[in-house]
Amino acid sequence: MPAAAAAAANPPHLTFFYKREEMGVRQALYFSGASLSGTFGGLLATAIGLIKHKPGGWAWIFIIEGILTIFFGLLCFWILPNDIPKLWWATPQEKKLAYARMAPPVSRPTQDPENVDASTTAEKRVAAATDDKLEYNGKFVLREVIRTFTDPLVLLFAASGYAYATLLYSSAFFSPTIIRALGIASTTAEAQLLSVPPTAAAFFVSITAAVLSDKYRWRWISVVCLILLSIAGVGLAYGSKVASQRYGGIILLSCGTYSIPPLGISWMLNNAAGLYKRATAIALFIVFTNGGGILSVWLFYNNEAPRYRRGFLVNLCLNIAALALVTIAELYMLWENRQRKAGKRDYRVTELKQLGWGDAKTREYLGNANKLREVQQIFAASPNFSYELTNKDLDLPEIQGSTRNVAQAKCAAAAQALNGPCITEDTALGFHALGGLPGPYIKDFMKTIGHDGLNKMLDGFEDRTASAICTFAYCAGPGEEVKLFEGKTEGVIVPPRGPTYFGWDPILEIKGTGLTYAEMDPKQKNSLSHRYKALALLQEYLVSLTDKA
């Protein structure tokens, strides 16, 4: 029972520390304990069997392995951190870096989402990361648990896990028969040694598949290849009458069936949003895969040895079914991604609205968080930029005028309020047909009429072109000259496409790309946006100040 709970608890726990594209290798390393235990368990059993005059016989295997399990289990109480703030071996700066690179605070288990507001920025998240008193205070959300059982993707993953895990458990029933048929193991110790190569090979295949899966960020192709490897192994172990070839089949199917679960779990973790839904989904997955172990008990009978026709054929059919199920899951996700690009699946927005947030507050929070993240990502790409950026929430007077006038006045006021250097940013979206309107007032227009209203403003005009303008202002301190840095990108106003939670990004199709800002991945957007162009100028200026110093 404790082992079953640990198997379900550890995978979600890793998501507190690692990003999506880092999850496969970590899960593979964790689950490789199963294949390594088969490798070293066989070696340990062989070594114990060679000890003469020992009381208890094979019971020593359970005693030694049990002591090691209890020892490391107790040790985890002291060495396993709950979350990034509890990384006892990390320095405060390392905790800052670890915390800042992870998801926004609404997805963290150590922060109550109801207390997150628009001013919760990277600076505050970093400060929280170094607070030794930070504890879990997220509220249990029952609807997230219930939602797990209505998610078709979770059910597809669980069903496929049942299908391919049956072979994993079944191998314990037919492998000894095939090993004995080799005729080269005259003793139990020699037979135990022959059980080592399949699990040792499975370890290396599992890590390799996980590395490739993380690198190319495509779980489906890795899982499919491993299922096909399992099917080939089953076919060889069942179809051949040559003992050595059947043993080769065991090695093949072990490489496949031991390597699939960590990728299956990583795949599910990548696609189950919300802490409680994610944890419940993994628990459901473990229940289904363990169910494969129950089925395997009834598939292999001694009177059907050595062919085990029924058991092998059932496992062959189950792996084919698993192949179909994971392919359906992949097609479902491709369809779902198209829905997201169309703006129909704004899950983060839905999550915040379920917490009672209104449209304006949701858009303001997500806009601020994304804006700061963009700036940090763009600056991070420069090896020469050594400034540390933090965010301050200031109540500054509203200035009317052009974008440059607004940016200049705001930056001067901010430097006065902070009594030090500061950077401010203002954006404008100007419709050419309307002489540059809404311009710097685009934020107010968004709040009042939204994406559809902005589109209707151009009804009756043939010219739907627009300019996106970003102006960064820098002031070294109170009374100092304000420096302005402007970037501009041209585009066309279109009906909203892509996620709708980041300002007017979904309605501006950038010239020459065929995509709105909202449809672009962060790397593409950060290489051509108006913000990127303005930041490049600001960055050049700040680096020049460093060089002079």
Question: Is 410 labelled a binding residue?
Answer: yes
In 458-547, DSSP assigns E strands to: 465-475, 482-493, 508-510
CA dihedral 212, 214, 218, 222 (to 10 degrees): 40
Q: What are phi and psi of 355, to 5 degrees?
A: -85, 5
Question: Is 530 labelled a binding residue?
Answer: yes
In 3D space, the residue among 53, 280, 267 whose CA is nearest the CA of residue 156 turns out to be: 267
Question: Is 427 labelled a binding residue?
Answer: yes
Residue 253 near residue 30, CB atoms below 8 Å: no
Q: Which residues fall within 8 angstroms of residue 523, CB to CB, at 6 or more apart?
A: none
Q: What are phi and psi of 483, to 5 degrees?
A: -100, 135
Taking residue 110's Cβ as centre, other Cβ atoms within 10 Å add up to: 20
Query: What DSSP assignment string belongs to 240-297?
Result: ---HHHHHHHHHHHHHHHTTHHHHHHHHHHHH--SHHHHHHHHHHHHHHHHHHHHHHH
In 3D space, the residue among 221, 202, 241 whose CA is nearest the CA of residue 330 turns out to be: 221
Q: What are phi and psi of 485, to 5 degrees?
A: -135, 120
Q: What is d(CA 362, CA 342) in angstroms, rounded to the nearest whole number? A: 19
Q: What is d(CA 119, CA 373) in angstroms, rounded to the nearest whole number? A: 14
Question: Is 504 labelled a binding residue?
Answer: yes
Taking residue 276's Cβ as centre, other Cβ atoms within 10 Å add up to: 21
Question: Is 503 labelled a binding residue?
Answer: yes
DSSP 52: -
- The tokens describing 156, both together, are 């597809």
Question: Is 426 labelled a binding residue?
Answer: yes
Residue 451 near residue 507, CB atoms below 8 Å: yes
One-letter amino acid at 76 equals: C
Query: Cα angle at 124 between 478 and 450, to 5 degrees?
Result: 85
Question: Is 463 labelled a binding residue?
Answer: no
Q: Which residues fall within 8 angstroms of residue 297, CB to CB, at 6 or more apart?
A: 173
Residue 472 near residue 535, CB atoms below 8 Å: yes
3-class secondary structure, 422: strand
Residues annotated in a binding site for Mg(2+): 398, 426
Residues annotated in a binding site for ITP: 410, 426-427, 502-505, 525, 530-531
Residues annotated in a binding site: 398, 410, 426-427, 502-505, 525, 530-531
